[in-house]
Chain A
Amino acid sequence: MDSNGLMQFAGAVASGAVRVVDLTFTLSPDFPVIVLPPEFGQAAPVRIQQISRYDASGPAWYWNNLTFGEHTGTHFDAPIHWFTGKDLPNNAVDTLPVRDMIAPACVIDCSAQAAKDADFLLTIPVIEAWEKGHGRIPERHWVLLRTDWSKKGWRDYANLKDDGAHTPGPDAAVMRWLVEERGVIGFGTETIGTDAGQAGHFDPPYPAHHFLHGGGRYGLQCLCNLDQLPPTGAVIFAAPLKIQNGSGSPLRVLALVPGQV
């Protein structure tokens, strides 16, 4: 593309011909985080501590100190996050190729199924049915699972029962297939993780993490506004913080979609 093309793109963003959709939840202390059994190390929750707010601690300026785990809020998973991706080259957020941070997306709408069944599983037949209508998923595309889970209140969003979380996600076969047969660049969800709430009981456990990161691919979770994306044609901008050897990071995820001008 020449610079004219880029300028055209910038113009289209400015005019609204290309619409920018924010797929990000506000990073706040009360947003649910992944819950592990208490004997494991826990993700530090988001904490915002005020340094000053035009007061005695800083008369003309407002600023905060932040603490949070790499996997809090709307966040990105790098291959190094899982043991299957630990030996891959450029597998951390500071070394992954920057061109991977911009890629198109296929959005699979399973909101109807998820509304009926909190344990709904995305399977190969579901995607094959989607491909009949929208064409084969091209390589190096994100696959985003729309469940409308992001519209729930936070208790229903986390949906923790005495046998663990019950939230929708992919089964093991479809994750392997998406990585090996479709060559996706990554997989994104609205739920707390890329995996289903009960995925610890799958074979292998946490198949989205297992296959995505083992194949050098990425995860996005806690996304919102997926209902504003077309099934195909959206471009995702997802650039994690450049944390040294980081396994992931909260980030701003933006989707560029054709606007109605």
Chain B
Amino acid sequence: MIEPIAKPRRKNPLKRTRLPTLPPRARSRASHGFTRAAAEGRFMLQRCGACGTFCYPARDACPTCLSADLVFADAPRRGMLLCETTLHVPADVHFRERAPWRVGLVAMECGPRLVAHLHADCEEGGPVVMSFQLDKSGQAVAFAHPERETPNMTDDRQWREMTADPKFRRVLVTNGRSIVGQETVAALKAAGASIVFVGVAEPWKPFHGEDTLRTLEGVEIVPLDIGDEKSVADLAADIGGKVDILVNTTEHVRAGGLLDRQGTSIVRDEIDQAYLGFVQLAQAFGPAMRMRGSDGVNSAAAWVNILSVYALANWPVFGAYSASQAACLSLSHSLRAELRPGGVKVVNVFTGPLDIEWFQTVPPPKVAPRAVAAAIVSALKRGLEDVFVGDVAEDIRQRLIANPKAVERELGA
């Protein structure tokens, strides 16, 4: 049984902050099929198109019939823990400072055997449920969970290494003026965040929900205008060393593409808010987060972007907005690579049109702000990297896999 983790004490200022170390990261190209599965929270194995055999680890030919027709497919998650071992003095620096560390061999009901990291409640000879997780170096690893929920199971030490659970972490939500921002604040508090800093730009402008936001316990409103270099730098100077999770809830949605807009001022606002704001936040908060990736129970853990799914495929009705989102998506991949040495995850939450004022004339289905907030918390708790919220986002994702050109034509129809 897992002992619940205790709220971390204040740091001893005489002690050095431990620098992040990473687990081994080399992987074959084929095994990035697991990386994708882990990023999206799916359990996928290679399956032979000829004989149906599931196999593991990743390979180029079916171990049963030698067919090269191996495709990653969703696979049944159940298995049995054949045997386990505990490493007390691993040779690897990363695991050495996390020892003792349990690993085991799992026989999957669908066939293959996997070496997996073990949740503490997994028992030798007992049933387990498998997932692929992104470890601190962003690589997919197999993780065995107990079959049923156990007390305090999310507090498991090895599991917490795979996730960015908000419990006892300190979070910055960058924009508290939006409904999505306010729902995110509430969801993070409910998930056990010790404090949520919430940014408010132009505090002289009143906004809906302000009174409630001001009364929430463990929520601190901070001045933050992400378009203003000094405002971002000033806030980072104050709290940059204690932001464990940053959720960028910037929201600047305007309809329109190119030809029916006059001049560049609306486009510039979009770029200013979405892209340059992201740049300024990253430059101000990123370095400290990267440095604090192994800083105990409340180490820096994740950076969350909320992106329109039209970052992946332009929707000309919101054409310029889509382009600004695409710029942010590209930038997020740079940030992901740059934060990786710290073991800090970058989570992209893709949404279709939200049920907010700026998508008023767009017909349903639209995504409720609360659903976005729930998806953010779920992604942090499960350690995901790419999340698609709502039917539209999922639809676009699937259609893009099938035929990107068709998506372009259909969105532009």
Tell me whether B269 and A42 are in contact (CB under 8 A). yes
Nearest-Cβ distance from residue A58 to partner chain B, whole angstroms: 16
Tell me whether A160 and B206 are in contact (CB under 8 A). yes
Specify which chain B residues have a CB less than 8 angstroms from the CB of A41 in the assembled complex.
Answer: 263, 265-266
Nearest-Cβ distance from residue B154 to partner chain A, whole angstroms: 40
* A236 to B362 CA separation, bound complex (whole angstroms): 53
Q: Which of A35, A45, A154 contacts B203 (CB 8 A)?
A: A154
Specify which chain B residues have a CB less than 8 angstroms from the CB of A30 in the assembled complex.
Answer: 202, 223, 225, 228, 231
Stretch at the interface among A46-54, A136-144, A182-190: A46-54
Tell me whether A49 and B229 are in contact (CB under 8 A). yes
Q: Is A237 an interface residue, CB under 8 A from the partner? A: no
Specify which chain B residues have a CB less than 8 angstroms from the CB of A246 in the assembled complex.
Answer: none
Q: A30-B228, A30-B231 are in contact. Are A158 and B204 (CB under 8 A)?
A: yes
Q: Which partner residue on chain A sits nearest B265 by CB separation?
A: A41
Please, what's the 1-or-0 string for B259-292, where 1 marks a CB less than 8 Å from any CB in chain A?
Answer: 0000101101100100000000000000000000
* A21 to B370 CA separation, bound complex (whole angstroms): 53
* A232 to B203 CA separation, bound complex (whole angstroms): 37
Q: Is A120 an interface residue, CB under 8 A from the partner? A: no
Q: Which of A29, A49, A157 contacts B231 (CB 8 A)?
A: A29
Specify which chain A residues have a CB less than 8 angstroms from the CB of B231 in the assembled complex.
Answer: 29-30
Q: Is A101 an interface residue, CB under 8 A from the partner? A: no
Please, what's the 1-or-0 string for B208-251, where 1 marks a CB less than 8 Å from any CB in chain A?
Answer: 00000000000000010101111100000000000000000000
**Total interface residues on B, using CB and 8 Å?**
18
Tell me whether A160 and B204 are in contact (CB under 8 A). yes
Q: Which of B229, B268, B269, B272 contacts A50 (CB 8 A)?
A: B229
Tell me whether A29 and B205 are in contact (CB under 8 A). no
Q: Which partner residue on chain B sits nearest A50 by CB separation?
A: B229
Specify which chain B residues have a CB less than 8 angstroms from the CB of A45 in the assembled complex.
Answer: 227-228
Tell me whether B265 and A160 are in contact (CB under 8 A). no
Tell me whether A154 and B204 are in contact (CB under 8 A). yes
Tell me whether A47 and B229 are in contact (CB under 8 A). yes
Tell me whether B204 and A32 are in contact (CB under 8 A). yes
Specify which chain B residues have a CB less than 8 angstroms from the CB of A14 in the assembled complex.
Answer: none
* A233 to B204 CA separation, bound complex (whole angstroms): 35
Please, what's the 1-or-0 string for A23-65, where 1 marks a CB less than 8 Å from any CB in chain B?
Answer: 0000001101001000001101101111000000000000000
Specify which chain B residues have a CB less than 8 angstroms from the CB of A44 in the assembled complex.
Answer: 265, 268-269
Tell me whether A29 and B265 are in contact (CB under 8 A). no
Q: Is A99 an interface residue, CB under 8 A from the partner? A: no
Q: Which of A141-157 contact B (CB under 8 A)?
A: 153-155, 157
Nearest-Cβ distance from residue B150 to partner chain A, whole angstroms: 50
* A48 to B229 CA separation, bound complex (whole angstroms): 7
Q: Which partner residue on chain A sits nearest B208 by CB separation?
A: A162
Tell me whether A29 and B225 are in contact (CB under 8 A). yes
Q: Which of A29, A154, A161 contacts B230 (CB 8 A)?
A: A29
* A47 to B227 CA separation, bound complex (whole angstroms): 8
Please, what's the 1-or-0 string for A153-173, where 1 marks a CB less than 8 Å from any CB in chain B?
Answer: 111011011000000000000
Please, what's the 1-or-0 string for B145-163, where 1 marks a CB less than 8 Å from any CB in chain A?
Answer: 0000000000000000000
Q: Which partner residue on chain B sits nearest A155 by CB separation?
A: B204
> Taking beta carbons and an 8 Å cutoff, which residues of B are in contact with A?
202-206, 223, 225, 227-231, 263, 265-266, 268-269, 272
A-B contact pairs, 16 of them (CB 8 A): A29-B225, A29-B227, A29-B228, A29-B231, A30-B225, A32-B204, A41-B263, A44-B268, A44-B269, A45-B227, A47-B227, A47-B228, A47-B272, A50-B229, A158-B205, A160-B206
Beyond A30-B231, A48-B230: 20 further Cβ-contacts under 8 Å? A29-B228, A29-B230, A29-B231, A30-B202, A30-B223, A30-B225, A30-B228, A32-B204, A35-B205, A41-B266, A42-B265, A42-B269, A47-B227, A49-B229, A50-B229, A155-B203, A155-B204, A155-B206, A158-B204, A160-B205
